[in-house]
Amino acid sequence: MPEIDVFTPLNLKHTQLKNRFVMGSMHTGLEEAKQGFDKLAYFYEQRAKGGVSLIVTGGIAPNFQGRLTPFATQLSFPWQIKKHRKLTQAVHKHNSKICLQILHAGRYAYHPFSVAPSKSKAPITPFKARAITQLEIKKTIFDYANTANMAKKAGYDGVEIMGSEGYFINQFLAPKTNQRTDKYGGNFKNRMRLAIEIVQAIRKKVGDNFIIIFRLSMLEFVEDTQTYNEVIQLAKALEKNGVDLINSGIGWHESRVPSIATMVPRAAFTWITQKVKQEITLPVIASNRINNLQDAQTILKSSQADMISMARPFLADPDFVNKAMNNDYMSINTCIACNQACLDHTFKLKTASCLVNPKACHETEFQLNFAKKKKKVFVIGAGPAGLSAAVELAQRGHQVTLYEARSEIGGQFNIAKEIPGKEEFKETIRYFNHQLRQNNIVLKLNYKIQIEELKKEAPDEVIFATGVEARIPDIQGIHTSTKVLNYTEVLLEKKHVGKKVAIIGAGGIGFDTAEFLAHNPNKTSPALDKDEFYKEWGVDPKYQHRGALKPKEPEASYREIYLLQRKTTKHGKGLGKTTGWIHRLSLKNKGIHFLGGVSYHKIDDKGLHIKREQKTEVLDVDHIVICAGQTSNNSFYQQVKNQTSLNCHLIGGADVAQEIDAKRAINQGVRLANSL
């Protein structure tokens, strides 16, 4: 028998999937936007064209109660079918398939009409759900089948029933959220009754010629949820009742174990998919933190799963599958699992996009054609802003030279990649290095271009992406004390740091620096060592308790660290919506001291003199690391603009230092390049 790999077609009962890649469900925000379905059709079409065999849409509610938000999309009525047809037709043009995900939010709903198995309030919404009645359960099962039928009429190849991540069906499965005493509560047979009745009703309504995927909650990471045996019991029952594919659900939204963020090791949870696969004959889909071809192949070849689901990696690169098929994986734009432009946007009800690919979900806003006139363009600075501008310019046909004063490209990404848990940032530098070569961009490293050369060369356009400099606050002794270092000296230049440290500034960089200094340099980062990660976050790979949880065993900090801010608000309040809690908890578990409401008096041989809560104190530390934000490095831009008539443009941190985040920098670089 030939070896099965990610490119081998998969036969289902009535149909065939052309390869083993699934684009997993992801809400984009276009579902509710003006003309959103036209944009969504284009977005999905790009991914279908890029070779993925099966796309699962973002979650669509089967009824009003089940909507995540009051204005979330629902598919229940014939007049709603037309817009969905745009999606199915776009995907079918490229011989790919598309399934509609049916998602009932249950107690996760963000509106006052929510229902759940029992009266309860989830920690992630302000609304308390009331207990659903038996009559309403009957009606809800009908609504699921009705939505599946509408999906079939709209041309979908099937549906995915969302049975995980702590949503409605999952809430019935877990004792934590189901205290019913009727036939839908109590023992597991009763708790899984809703899931089975939904599957039966859908199958009865749509017939055999329609894919049913069930997203099975395999690991929940919340106390008092399912046992391993219950997960298997449900998987077997689903198989008997007409499901075609089992997808993996990992972690509830309220769980305090990271399951998709960048500090989660790659393919960290395929061990459970493999265990489930061994118990049933249905094909099983692996998901969560799979972002590269090599892992996907290993998972398939070692029978840990039959298909690979990736959601965010298809935002980062719509052509992932075709590039993989052509052995062109160096040109894959890898998802770095930062969540900054996708999930963080979704949770703020903004249209999703991607930090490394700002065109994602905004495809219709970009020109696809070559520039009308080929221009000579100089880009100064090879950080995220300069790199993205240079590549986009070259792809549009311009002749591009990229200047970088340092010996390597990457700018602030070279700092990020040094942080334990942020190793993925290396991938973006690898991607850009390859793109520079592919697009014949002339790269001049260790090169500080001077104004005379610019005048002589007279490029048509000059783009300044000259980045930022660390801000040094005005504190007595800061310029003279040998105890003071700034974050680049610590993270990039790797200057020696003693065992007792104070960090001034608790923004993104302050947190990153604390994580770096807390880590024992002789140990592997938990993001690269699954066992260390499981220990740190209390994951039980033996699955001996409900929710696969066991007590956490975080490694104590390698140094004694004080993370200081002047604000009195919670530390890390400004960090990403979906990742801030992880950074906070990670440092807290390691014993980092969070000091807020601090004013800085002076630095001398004794250490850092501060005042807080009306008291003065001295932090007797070996080093004080400054992470107090940045200032724009734009003096060269000002000089050239004032002294020449060249067309000058300023982007990235050199433009706005306050928000020197890569998301903004890359977006600005690509958009400027697209306009020239």
The residues that touch ligand SF4, with contacts defined as CB under 6 A, are 312, 315-316, 335-342, 354-356
CA–CA distance from 133 to each of 108, 118, 143, 175, 188 (Å)? 18, 9, 15, 18, 19
CA-to-CA distance for 488 and 631, rounded, in angstroms?
14
> What residue number has its CB nearest to ligand NAP?
507
Angle of the 81-92 helix axis to the 36-49 helix axis, nearest 10: 20
Type of residue found at 2: P
CA 327 to chain centre: 25
The interface region with ligand NAP, picked from 192-200, 364-372, 443-451, 508-516 by CB under 6 A, is 508-516
Q: In angstroms, what is the minimal distance from the CB of 269 to ligand SF4?
A: 17
| Cβ partners under 8 Å of residue 159, min gap 6 | 99, 100, 101, 102, 147, 148, 151, 202, 206, 210, 211, 212, 213
The verdict on 591 binding ligand NAP (CB under 6 A) reads no
With respect to ligand SF4, which residue has the nearer C-beta, 313 or 505? 313
Q: What is the dihedral of CA 232, 238, 243, 247, to 10 degrees?
A: -30
CA–CA distance from 273 to each of 163, 225, 268, 536, 624 (Å)? 15, 18, 11, 22, 46
The verdict on 628 binding ligand NAP (CB under 6 A) reads yes
Q: In angstroms, what is the minimal distance from the CB of 346 to ligand SF4?
A: 10
Q: In angstroms, what is the minimal distance from the CB of 29 to ligand SF4?
A: 13
The verdict on 517 binding ligand NAP (CB under 6 A) reads no
The verdict on 160 binding ligand NAP (CB under 6 A) reads no
Residues in a beta bridge with 81 = none
Residues in a beta bridge with 160 = 101, 213
Q: In angstroms, what is the minimal distance from the CB of 311 to ligand NAP?
A: 21
Joined together, the tokens standing for residue 417 give 């990649």
Q: CA 438, 317, 17: angle at the middle one, nearest 5?
A: 120
The interface region with ligand NAP, picked from 56-64, 247-255, 308-316, 570-578 by CB under 6 A, is 570-578
Joined together, the tokens standing for residue 344 give 């963080």
DSSP, collapsed to helix, strand or coil, labels residue 159 as: strand
Mapping DSSP onto H, E and C, the string for 171-208 reads HHHCCCCCCCCCCCCCCHHHHCHHHHHHHHHHHHHHCC
Q: In angstroms, what is the minimal distance from the CB of 189 to ligand NAP?
A: 45
The verdict on 507 binding ligand NAP (CB under 6 A) reads yes
With respect to ligand SF4, which residue has the nearer C-beta, 180 or 359? 359
The verdict on 611 binding ligand NAP (CB under 6 A) reads no
DSSP, collapsed to helix, strand or coil, labels residue 145 as: helix
The verdict on 411 binding ligand NAP (CB under 6 A) reads no
Pick the binder of ligand NAP from 315, 575, 592, 673 (CB under 6 A): 575
650 touches, from ligand SF4, ligand NAP, none (C-beta below 5 to 8 Å by class): none
Residues in a beta bridge with 264 = none
The verdict on 342 binding ligand NAP (CB under 6 A) reads no
Q: In angstroms, what is the minimal distance from the CB of 311 to ligand SF4?
A: 8
With respect to ligand NAP, which residue has the nearer C-beta, 18 or 583? 583
Maximum CA extent, the chain: 84
Pick the binder of ligand NAP from 473, 494, 498, 524 (CB under 6 A): 473
CA-to-CA distance for 262 and 472, rounded, in angstroms?
30
Site string for ligand NAP, 441-470 (x = CB under 6 A): ------------------------------
Joined together, the tokens standing for residue 91 give 């995907």
With respect to ligand SF4, which residue has the nearer C-beta, 24 or 538? 24
Q: Which residues are catalytic?
A: 167
With respect to ligand SF4, which residue has the nearer C-beta, 154 or 337? 337
| CA-based radius of gyration for the chain | 26
Q: In angstroms, what is the minimal distance from the CB of 572 to ligand SF4?
A: 19
Half-sphere exposure of 129 (CA within 13 A, CB side): 30
The verdict on 512 binding ligand NAP (CB under 6 A) reads yes
With respect to ligand SF4, which residue has the nearer C-beta, 103 or 315? 315
With respect to ligand NAP, which residue has the nearer C-beta, 117 or 411? 411
Pick the binder of ligand NAP from 209, 523, 659, 675 (CB under 6 A): 659
354 touches, from ligand NAP, ligand SF4, none (C-beta below 5 to 8 Å by class): ligand SF4
The residue with tokens 């998901």 is 287
411 touches, from ligand SF4, ligand NAP, none (C-beta below 5 to 8 Å by class): none
The verdict on 541 binding ligand NAP (CB under 6 A) reads no
508 touches, from ligand SF4, ligand NAP, none (C-beta below 5 to 8 Å by class): ligand NAP
The interface region with ligand NAP, picked from 128-136, 295-303, 367-375, 564-572 by CB under 6 A, is 564-572
The verdict on 505 binding ligand NAP (CB under 6 A) reads yes
The verdict on 421 binding ligand NAP (CB under 6 A) reads no
With respect to ligand SF4, which residue has the nearer C-beta, 553 or 659? 659
DSSP, collapsed to helix, strand or coil, labels residue 380 as: strand
With respect to ligand NAP, which residue has the nearer C-beta, 411 or 576? 576
Q: Are strands 120-121 and 648-650 parallel, antiparallel or unpaired?
A: unpaired
341 touches, from ligand NAP, ligand SF4, none (C-beta below 5 to 8 Å by class): ligand SF4
The residue with tokens 């909507």 is 67
Please report the DSSP string for 397-453 in residue order.
T-EEEEE-SSSSS-TTHHHHTTSTT-TTHHHHHHHHHHHHHHTT-EEE-S----HHH
Name residues contacting ligand NAP, limited to 164-193 (CB under 6 A).
none
Please report the DSSP string for 541-594 in residue order.
TT--SGGGB----PPPPSSEEEEE-S--SPTTTTS-TTTHHHHHHHHHHTT-EE
CA-to-CA distance for 637 and 81, rounded, in angstroms?
53
With respect to ligand NAP, which residue has the nearer C-beta, 284 or 518? 518
Pick the binder of ligand NAP from 386, 510, 526, 669 (CB under 6 A): 510
Q: Which residues bind ligand NAP (CB under 6 A)?
A: 471, 473, 504-512, 565-567, 574-576, 583, 627-630, 659-661
